[in-house]
Structure 1
Amino acid sequence: MHALSFLWCFSYLAFFRTCHWFGLEEPSAPSNAVQLLLTLKLVGVAGEVVETENLKAAIDSTECTDINTRLKLKYKGIDYSCYRLVTYSFCYIGAFTGPYFTCRTFQDMVHNNDATKLPLWSDLKRRLQPLPVCGALFFFLTWLVSIETAREERFYEETSVFYRYGYLFLLFLRFRVRFYSAWILAECMAVAAGLGGYPSRAENRPGAGPTNLKVLDEAEDGGHDFETVRNILPVEIELSSSVSASIKHWNILVQWWLVVNVYKNIPTRNKLLRSIILMIISAFWHGVHPGWYATFLSAPFLLLAEDSMNRGLKHKLKSRRLCAIYDTISCFLGMRFFEYFVVGAFFLQYNEIYHFWKSLYFYGHILLIAIIFIGQILILSTGKVERPHKS
C-alpha cells in the first residue's frame, strides 16, 4: 500500500505539473502549494496505515505481551477511515506552507480535551523572536534586489563580477529570511491550534512526535512542548559550522518525511547513491523545472566535500583554537556554496542558470571539486582514517 500510494501520488503530481502541455490550464501557485502538501500527507498516511496493521497483526497472531509493541499501537497507530482521510488531508493548518504533520498528530489534536492546558503563549513567544528581524530584512531586501533584475542582459553588461557576487549574496539572504518568516508564522499557526503539543518528557522529535512512549501512560505533568511541528531553526542555520548541520535545520519536517518514506526504502547501501536518489525525488517534488535538479543534486557533493575535509584535515587538528578557525572557515564557505547552487532554484531554466554561473566563472563548481580532491588526497596521505563519532 505504501509503495502504491507513493507511485500514484507522484505520478499524479507529474501530470499536475505538466497538464498545460496537454491543453489544460496551468495550475496556480496556491493550488500547487496545496498539492505539494497533499502528496506528502497521502503517502505518509499510507505508511501509518501499514504500520498500524502490522502492529495489530503482531499483537493478535502471537498474543504479544511486549509492552513496547502495545505502546506503539496505542500512541502511534491511527483510526483511519474515508472521513478521517479527508479531514486530515484538507485541514487548514499548513495547507499552503506546511508544516507537514502525520495523521496521528492530527488525530491527537482533534481528540485532545485538555488543549487549554497547553503552554501556547510561552512557546509562541520563543518562536516569534527571530520574526521582527527576518521580516524587516525581507521587506528591505525585496525593495533592494530582485531576481528579475538579474535576468536582464544589461545586468551582465553593466556590472562587474564582484558586484554580481554581492548581488547573489543579497538574493540568497532575501531567500532565507523569506522562508524563515513564512515558516515561523506557519509553526505558530500550528501551535495556536494545539497541533503537536505533547508532554516534554516524551522526548518529542520533529515529525516523529513522542519517542519515549512510556511516559505518556504516566499521570505526572512535566510540561508540554511543540517540537513535533518544528520546521525551521534560523539561528542554528546561520551559525552552523557545517553544511550538514545547516541542511539539517532547514525545512526539518519535509526532510523527516523524505528519510522515513524514501531514504530508508532505497535498495542500496551506498550513501552517496542513496543521497543522489533522495535529492532527485526531492527536486521532482518541488517541480519539473531543470533548476530544481541543478540545486538539489549539489547537496550530496557538498556533503562529500565536507566529509572528506573532516576526515582528512579536521580529524587531525589537536587544538581547540585550530578547530574553531576550521569551523569558522567551514561556516563561511558553506553559505557561499549554498548561495551559489541555489541559483538553480532562482532561475529554474538551464540557459539562465548557465548564464549566471558563467558570469561568476563557475567558482562554486571549481572550488567544490578542488575541496573534494584535496580532502581525498589528505585522507590517502595518512592511510585509513576512522570517521569521527557523531554526537
Structure 2
Amino acid sequence: MGGSCCGPGAHPVHLWPPHFAFPDHHPWDLGPHSGPALLVSLASEVQDLHLAQRKEMASGFSKGPTLGLLPDVPSLMETLSYSYCYVGIMTGPFFRYRTYLDWLEQPFPGAVPSLRPLLRRAWPAPLFGLLFLLSSHLFPLEAVREDAFYARPLPARLFYMIPVFFAFRMRFYVAWIAAECGCIAAGFGAYPVAAKARAGGGPTLQCPPPSSPEKAASLEYDYETIRNIDCYGTDFCVRVRDGMRYWNMTVQWWLAQYIYKSAPARSYVLRSAWTMLLSAYWHGLHPGYYLSFLTIPLCLAAEGRLESALRGRLSAGGQKAWDWVHWFLKMRAYDYMCMGFVLLSWADTLRYWASIYFCIHFLALAALGLGLALGGGSPSRRKAASQPASLAPEKLREE
C-alpha cells in the first residue's frame, strides 16, 4: 500500500500551479481536478513496482501478488486516461491508479451493487443543500467585509463565524456527496467489505477476486475507498486532530502518505505544520489560506499537551464533561480558521480576527502553556486508550 515519498513520487507536483492560484477564484469554488495528486501517487506506485521487482530478482524466486502493487508500468495513454478519468475529474475524490485499474478489470461488474449504496449515500444531500442556501442567505460572507459589521457588539461578531463555517460545511458536504455518488453510480471504488478498504488508499487486506458471477453477487461490497467526507465525524468528533481526518478524506490520505511522512521533522506537530504549509500552497497564494492552515499546528499542540496532562486524571464523569468542552472548543477553532479560508486576504482575515481579539490564538497559547506547566506529553505520544472517538453513540454514525 502506498509508497515512498522520495524519488520520482516527489517531483510531478511542481509541474502544475496550485489549485486555487487563479485571479477569478471565488472562496466557495471547489477547484479543478486533482491531476497533480494523481500523478504523484502514480509515480510512487511505479516506484513501488520497481522496488518489488528488484527484490524479486535479488531473492531469485517469484512471490505471489502483493496487495496494492501494479502489475506493470502504465503506458502514456493509460497514464493520460487515469489522469483525465471522468470519475472525479471536477471535485474528486482522489483515487490511486490501482483503484482505477481494479475498476476497469472488475471480473463481474454487473454483480457490484450501485443503486442502493447511491441512494443511501445521497439522501442527506438535499437537506444539506437547503441548509446551505438558508444559512448563506441569512449570514452572507460579504457582510464581514463591510465597515458596519465592526460596529456590532462583540458577541455578535463572535457568533457570526459559526453560521459562516456552517454554510461552508454544508456546501462541501453536498459537493463531495455528489462526487461520491458519481463514483458509486459507475461502480468505481467498490471492494468487498472483507478487504477493509480505507479512503484514498483502497484495500488493506488481500481479497481474492470471485471466480463466478454467483460468488461475486454473494459478496458484500462497500465504497470506502472513494469516501471523501464523514459528515457526522466532522461535526461530532472531539479533537481538531480527528476533524482533519474526516474532512476531504481521500486527500487527507494523500497528504499523510506523500507529505506528512516525508516531512523534515520527527515531531507530530512539526510534521503537521509542514503538511499544512504545503496544503495551503496547494490551495493557492491567498494569505488567508496560510493564516488558517498554520493555525492548525498550534491548536494540535495545545490540545495534545493539555489533554495528556489533565484528562487522564479525571473521573469518568469528568472525562465526559471534558470531551463536551473539548468538542465545543474544537468547533469554535474551526469556525475561527474558516474565516481566513473564505475571506482570503490578509487585511480582511486579520481585521476580523482582531475584532474578536484573536481569541482562538490566545486560548490555544494559554492551553499549550498550561499543558507544558503540568507536564503534558506531545500529541504523538498520547495513549490510544485515552482517546475519545465521538460524543454520540456509534449507532448514530452516518450510514
**TM-score normalised to the size of structure 2?**
0.87
Aligned counterpart for 1:72 among listed residues 67, 74, 90: 67
Higher relative contact order (CA 8 A, sep 6+): 2
Residue 48 of structure 2 corresponds to residue 44 of structure 1:
no
Aligned counterpart for 1:109 among listed residues 103, 107, 116: 103
**Of 272-281 and 331-340, the range deviating more from structure 2:** 272-281
Shift in Å, 1:334: 0.3
Residue 6 of structure 2 corresponds to residue 12 of structure 1:
no
Shift in Å, 1:370: 1.0
Aligned counterparts of 2:86 and 2:21: Cα–Cα separation in 1: 23
Q: Is the 8 A contact 1:2 1:50 kept in 2?
A: no
Three-state SS of the structure 2 residue aligned to 1:100 is coil
Task: State the identity as a percent.
Answer: 31
Q: Are residues 150 and 254 of structure 1, via their aligned partners in 2, closer, same or farther at CA, if it must alter by over 3 Å? A: same
Q: Are residues 197 and 306 of structure 1, via their aligned partners in 2, closer, same or farther at CA, if it must alter by over 3 Å? A: same
Aligned counterparts of 2:343 and 2:174: Cα–Cα separation in 1: 22
**Of 309-318 and 265-274, the range deviating more from structure 2:** 265-274
Aligned counterparts of 2:286 and 2:312: Cα–Cα separation in 1: 39
**Match for residue 357 of structure 1?**
353
Aligned counterparts of 2:243 and 2:25: Cα–Cα separation in 1: 31
Shift in Å, 1:104: 1.1
Q: Can you list the C-alpha shifts for 1:95-124, whole angstroms capped at 9, x where unaligned? A: 111100011111111222422211212222
Aligned counterpart for 1:164 among listed residues 152, 157, 166: 157
Aligned counterpart for 1:200 among listed residues 193, 196, 208: 193
Show the 5 A alignment for 1:299-318: 299-318=296-315
Shift in Å, 1:273: 1.7
Aligned counterparts of 1:193 and 1:279: Cα–Cα separation in 2: 33
Aligned counterparts of 1:10 and 1:223: Cα–Cα separation in 2: 40
**Match for residue 79 of structure 2?**
85
Q: Is the 8 A contact 1:305 1:368 kept in 2?
A: yes
**Of 300-309 and 107-116, the range deviating more from structure 2:** 107-116
**Match for residue 208 of structure 2?**
216
Q: Is the 8 A contact 1:147 1:171 kept in 2?
A: yes
Q: Is the 8 A contact 1:145 1:167 kept in 2?
A: yes
Residue 286 of structure 2 corresponds to residue 289 of structure 1:
yes
**Structure 1 spans left out of the alignment, 5+ residues:** 19-25
Aligned counterparts of 2:30 and 2:113: Cα–Cα separation in 1: 34
Aligned counterpart for 2:239 among listed residues 234, 242, 250: 242
Aligned counterpart for 1:98 among listed residues 61, 76, 92: 92
Three-state SS of the structure 2 residue aligned to 1:312 is helix
**Structure 2 spans left out of the alignment, 5+ residues:** 388-399
**Match for residue 186 of structure 1?**
179
Which amino acid in the other structure matches residue 81 of structure 1? S
**Match for residue 334 of structure 1?**
330
**TM-score normalised to the size of structure 1?**
0.88
Aligned counterpart for 2:374 among listed residues 364, 378, 381: 378
**Match for residue 368 of structure 1?**
364
Shift in Å, 1:373: 1.2
**Match for residue 391 of structure 2?**
none
Q: Can you list the C-alpha shifts for 1:54-109, whole angstroms capped at 9, x where unaligned? A: 12222233224554xx3337x54454010111111111111111100011111111
Which amino acid in the other structure matches residue 149 of structure 1? A
Aligned residues: 373
Aligned counterpart for 1:257 among listed residues 254, 257, 274: 254
Three-state SS of the structure 2 residue aligned to 1:116 is helix
Which amino acid in the other structure matches residue 9 of structure 1? V
Q: Is the 8 A contact 1:295 1:344 kept in 2?
A: yes
